[in-house]
Structure 1
């Protein structure tokens, strides 16, 4: 039954059937052939229970927050401020790409929104100054992945919803790894550009007066981050309520920068509805598939197979990591999460691994999938913003950052407290 399920899933994906439809069809096929009870009769109840959660309201709110920031001009001001502080390093503007992605990740919660925003602001600058297109675009694609690691993160909310793990604790667990990964990107970029100066660009120097004036431009993003995340840990708001506060703050910023208009609001709401509709349909479809898998015994078979394999806990973890890396080449990241987590997470947790730590590790593996072909979504987003040259340039430029993520993964496995320290301190 396991093999038949996997083959059906792969066949539907190869035929380019939409992911949500694929999950529903696969569930109905498994129900028809392997269940003695017509589980499709529970379809309505399962879909309603999956979507009837106050926590899920946070998803469209965080998406709307990112949409408003994209259209308010905050991202451009942030980029120019960070450029004055970071462009003296080997690689020049490449570090501003990573730095802006880090700041924008602290409010957007989406890797796609982060990549698109930084790409829109940075690519004209890189072209004007004659930067190598490969590493420049690769740094934007890789920096965009931080959008799902640094809180608030939509993918972390989905992980917490599926595994019933505390969202505030997940946000706390991911903060230090996210900042560490951004630092590794900066250090790695500096090393590459020191060894191969042609891959970077001209260093740019700014006076201290210019740098300190630029700090004012960072205040809007920092203020939103403190308001959204701080209100959660102060106990003043739930993640959903904090997202609503963030949207209100973004509207105030847009009004302050005089970019707030009916057209801007309409565009932001339209983008939010499109993205939210896609995410929610995948989530509720995956819930029905998981219900069918559990009811028909597939989940038990997989757990029994792993238990009978004779692998120890660490070997099982390495097997699951390899599974995510391979599937990440072919599956869209959110789909990869909702398909695998209901099966993989209980196994990992039963072996004694902390669900908070595993959540951060999964997000890191998902980040790798965002910049690995042939389905690396961030690669296509950056190329779409670029609108010239070849997609191969972006793929080649992102390759060194995949290796940097591998280094981060090794550190996370070797030192789990990287993820667990902050949740422990915050209680």
Structure 2
């Protein structure tokens, strides 16, 4: 049996294990071990298991992951999300749908130091959802806004998804972060447009807020200052060549800690933050180790090379190759976490994208946006279920109904980036 056939059989078996609810990290590791042993030999496969974990965990390149997670957790423990939402709420004053605009704006700003879609959605929904319900917002609009707003955490830098993509494809993490700024802000702007159009077409979904004067609006901006300062410190330091991404992550975590301490973070909060960071980091590193073992198997199975040969034989255009890859991500995004999806698929699809002639950084941005889209796409959008866990009285169908305008806006953003790659590459 050829290595290619063994490779495809093992990949099919891996998806079977995932369907049986085996953790994705373990499924990748098992598949990599069995596949490599089947094609080469099991003694060197055992050596890969022995050395893969050590090489991954001792790599300096992966050290920003726990620091960026710690930064977001410190921000959450400092209750910065509540102040951020209330500050944003004053900016939109008496606008109909102003709280929804404030919620999605808060998600965008909070994601700048969170880096995680699920964490952004969970943190902001606890603050914004009760107030939106109390003020007469339709459940579909309130929950849909927060589910979609949480997805901004995967794009607006610093982003764990962009970090991992850069490390896996050997692209500059700093360039990936800089390239994510315009697409991230474009996503925020399009979400705000989606809310405005939805409320204009169906005014009954939202109520006007309380009018605020200029002084109150300026006072509300104070809630944005800590986020702006940390974001400017990280991105400005990377862009100016002052920090490496690893150093920027450490500086950002220290800045978030200083703000949290200033706002009265207790020793218990600090210990909880460390524990939460360790748990999240362990989960991600476990997946990275699984992906490392899986990567050795992919090399010897020649799956990527075989796919390239198939695409060449079929004479597919670069656009059709891209469309096929993006369709795969939308489908996988319905049932899989974004980080796991990237670790699992990028080693396979990245060579296809390079063979098609795409810019690697642009392809990374488009890929992450498509992964982001999968987080709110029915029937199983991860962010939708995060919001459902916070608002158990709202039917899941109502949340999916509420995310429809945002799905459409993400499709528009994706189309703009495909048509105008300069949107992702202009700042590099």
TM-score (norm 1): 0.95
Displacement of 1:31: 2.6
1:417 pairs with 406, 409, 422, which one?
A: 422
Q: Which residue of 2 aligns with 1:42?
A: 48
Where do residues 370-385 of structure 1 align in structure 2 (5 Å cutoff)? 370-385=375-390
**2:35 corresponds to 1:15:** no
**2:315 corresponds to 1:310:** yes
2:226 pairs with 213, 220, 225, which one?
A: 220
Q: Which residue of 1 aligns with 2:76?
A: 70
- Distance in 1, matches of 2:258 and 2:11, equals 48
1:115 pairs with 110, 115, 121, which one?
A: 121
- Distance in 2, matches of 1:33 and 1:168, equals 39
Rate the CA distance shift 1:211–1:350 in 2: closer, same or farther, 3 A: same
2:400 pairs with 388, 392, 395, which one?
A: 395
Deviates more, 1:21-30 or 1:3-12: 3-12
Displacement of 1:387: 3.3
- Distance in 2, matches of 1:245 and 1:117, equals 22
**2:101 corresponds to 1:95:** yes
8 Å contact from structure 2 (residues 234, 252) kept in 1 = yes
1:125 pairs with 131, 140, 144, which one?
A: 131
Q: Which residue of 1 aligns with 2:291?
A: 286
TM-score (norm 2): 0.95
1:238 pairs with 239, 244, 247, which one?
A: 244
2:304 pairs with 293, 299, 304, which one?
A: 299
8 Å contact from structure 1 (residues 105, 114) kept in 2 = yes
Displacement of 1:330: 2.5
- Distance in 1, matches of 2:338 and 2:40, equals 29
Deviates more, 1:207-216 or 1:163-172: 207-216
Q: What is the SS of the residue equivalent to 1:422?
A: coil
Q: What is the SS of the residue equivalent to 2:257?
A: helix
**2:205 corresponds to 1:199:** yes
Q: What is the SS of the residue equivalent to 2:97?
A: coil
- Distance in 2, matches of 1:124 and 1:329, equals 27
8 Å contact from structure 2 (residues 115, 157) kept in 1 = yes
Where do residues 283-362 of structure 1 align in structure 2 (5 Å cutoff)? 283-362=288-367
Q: Which residue of 2 aligns with 1:172?
A: 178
Deviates more, 1:156-165 or 1:199-208: 199-208
8 Å contact from structure 2 (residues 191, 406) kept in 1 = yes
- Distance in 2, matches of 1:367 and 1:237, equals 28
- Distance in 1, matches of 2:322 and 2:269, equals 46
- Distance in 2, matches of 1:38 and 1:372, equals 43
**2:265 corresponds to 1:248:** no
- Distance in 1, matches of 2:427 and 2:96, equals 32
Q: Which residue of 2 aligns with 1:189?
A: 195
**2:271 corresponds to 1:266:** yes
8 Å contact from structure 2 (residues 199, 205) kept in 1 = yes
8 Å contact from structure 2 (residues 136, 206) kept in 1 = no
Superposition RMSD on alpha carbons, in Å? 1.5
Displacement of 1:186: 0.2
Q: Which residue of 2 aligns with 1:367?
A: 372
Displacement of 1:389: 2.5
8 Å contact from structure 1 (residues 149, 364) kept in 2 = yes
8 Å contact from structure 1 (residues 39, 292) kept in 2 = no
- Distance in 2, matches of 1:8 and 1:74, equals 44
Deviates more, 1:264-273 or 1:297-306: 297-306
Rate the CA distance shift 1:282–1:201 in 2: closer, same or farther, 3 A: same
Deviates more, 1:240-249 or 1:181-190: 240-249
- Distance in 2, matches of 1:38 and 1:4, equals 21
1:141 pairs with 143, 147, 152, which one?
A: 147
Q: What is the SS of the residue equivalent to 2:215?
A: helix
8 Å contact from structure 1 (residues 181, 408) kept in 2 = yes
- Distance in 2, matches of 1:307 and 1:330, equals 30
Q: What is the SS of the residue equivalent to 1:102?
A: helix
Displacement of 1:388: 2.5
1:4 pairs with 5, 9, 12, which one?
A: 9
- Distance in 2, matches of 1:165 and 1:204, equals 47
8 Å contact from structure 1 (residues 294, 300) kept in 2 = no
- List gaps (5 residues or longer) in structure 1: none
Residues 236-263 of structure 1: CA distance to partner in whole angstroms, max 9, x if unpaired? 21111111111111121112222x1111
Residues 112-149 of structure 1: CA distance to partner in whole angstroms, max 9, x if unpaired? 11111110110110121111011111110111111110
